[in-house]
C-alpha cells in the first residue's frame, strides 16, 4: 500500500479491513505521509501499537 491510500483509509468513515504483510489484522491510527509510515493498532488491544512502513500494509479482500 502507498502512503496516500493509507491516509484515505484512515480518513474514511467506512470500515476498511487492513492487515500487515504477516497477516495480522490492524487499525490505522495515524499516517505520516512524508516518511511513508503508519502507526497501527494490532488486533483488539489498544495498547499494542507499532509504527510500520506503509508498504507492509494491505487491504483485505
- Written as one string, the DSSP assignment of 1-61 is --HHHHHHHHH-SS---EEETTS-EEEEEEEETTTTEEEEEETT-TT-EEEEEGGGEEE--
Q: Structural domain of residue 37, as residue ranges?
A: 3-59
The whole-number pLDDT of residue 41 equals: 97
The whole-number pLDDT of residue 46 equals: 87
**Alpha-carbon dihedral angle through residues 10, 30, 33, 58, given to the nearest 10 degrees:** -60
- Looking at the structure of the chain, the number of domains it has is 1
**Can you give the pLDDT of all 61 residues of the chain as single tens digits?**
999 999 999 999 999 999 999 999 999 999 999 999 999 999 988 899 999 999 999 998 7
| CATH number where 45 lies | 2.30.30
The whole-number pLDDT of residue 6 equals: 97
The whole-number pLDDT of residue 61 equals: 77
User: Do 20 and 56 contact (CB within 8 A), yes or no?
Assistant: yes
Amino acid at each position: 500500500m502507498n502512503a496516500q491510500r493509507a491516509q484515505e483509509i484512515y480518513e474514511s468513515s467506512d470500515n476498511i479491513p487492513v492487515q500487515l504483510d504477516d497477516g495480522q489484522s490492524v487499525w490505522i491510527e495515524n499516517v505520516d505521509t512524508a516518511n511513508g509510515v503508519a502507526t497501527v493498532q494490532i488486533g483488539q488491544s489498544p495498547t499494542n501499537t507499532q509504527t510500520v512502513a506503509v508498504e507492509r500494509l494491505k487491504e483485505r479482500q
